[in-house]
Amino acid sequence: MSDARPARGPKPQVVLEVLRSERIGGHMVRLTLGGEGFAAFQDKEATDKYVKLLFADPELGLTPPYNLEELAKALPPERMPVRRTYTVHDVDHDAQTLQIDFVVHGDQGLAGPWAERAQPGDVVCFAGPGGMYLPDPAADWHLIGGDESALPAISATLAALPADARGLVWVEVVDAADEVPLQAPEGVEVRWVHRGGPFAPESTRLAAAIQDGPWLDGDVQVFVHGEREMIKAVRRYLTDVRGVPRTRMSLSPYWAYGRVEDVFQAEKREPIGQIFPENQPLPGN
């Protein structure tokens, strides 16, 4: 009897329409998506749920959902639809809508400029959601943090905390104009970290802020997501200085400075893409 796992097929695609667009802070656009395609959306119980958006070259005239297997036979790799990963801000099953926040910096990138120009009626296609994290109500306190890319997951995590939760939240953004309202339990303090400009290895301050900030007593559950090297710095502090076991940490890179998503995703299988050393046990092991 073979113990080999069957190959996983492609995740089904969901096609939604843009219903609303609103500016959130200085460099973020929130799109509300919905329409008949919401019936195909299979939600997941996780506060870090994410979807893989698919962007096709408009010159190809393709209509979503995309048959990626057939397209791969007909198109060179550089003409294939491009994936971009985004964390879901909110899912409203009663309204049958889904909200995604996009960090925008002018014409930089692919998804950001698209989101900034998106109008009601525009169509977006994605696969997912994925995600694994849920706050543990038994934890004595919660350490939560990230850069702009983690704001949707941070917001969802705060909403899922019990009313008597204790904790610290650190969010790195450009400046005060990029701060957005976050609803947290009374015992959870939100602190904003301003780096003063676009993200760069020299300007990021989140890891230093966490290291220099207060540390509460008791069993901590950690959720810090964002730029890869920044997350590595946070991991070194938590493991080497604070001795937090890996099983109590959700540390995940959402992106890497200077890398397009395809390269970033490929590097996850290489040493440069690993947040934890290979000899550290996986959660649950």
The pLDDT profile of the chain, 285 residues, written as one tens digit per residue, is: 334 444 455 578 999 999 999 998 888 899 999 999 999 999 999 999 999 999 999 899 999 999 999 999 999 999 999 999 999 999 999 999 999 999 887 777 788 899 999 999 999 999 989 999 999 999 999 999 999 999 999 999 999 999 999 999 999 999 999 999 999 999 999 999 999 998 999 999 999 999 999 999 999 999 999 999 999 999 999 999 999 999 999 999 999 999 888 888 888 888 899 899 864 444 443
| Continuous segment of H or E residues that includes residue 21 | strand 13-23
In contact, 248 and 220? CB cutoff 8 Å: yes
- 53, 14, 61: which is closest to 35 by C-alpha? 14
In contact, 229 and 200? CB cutoff 8 Å: no
In contact, 53 and 140? CB cutoff 8 Å: no
In contact, 224 and 143? CB cutoff 8 Å: yes
Sheet strands side by side (includes 167-173):
188-194, 167-173, 141-146, 220-227, 249-255
Measured distance CA(36)–CA(34) in Å, rounded: 7
In contact, 48 and 91? CB cutoff 8 Å: no
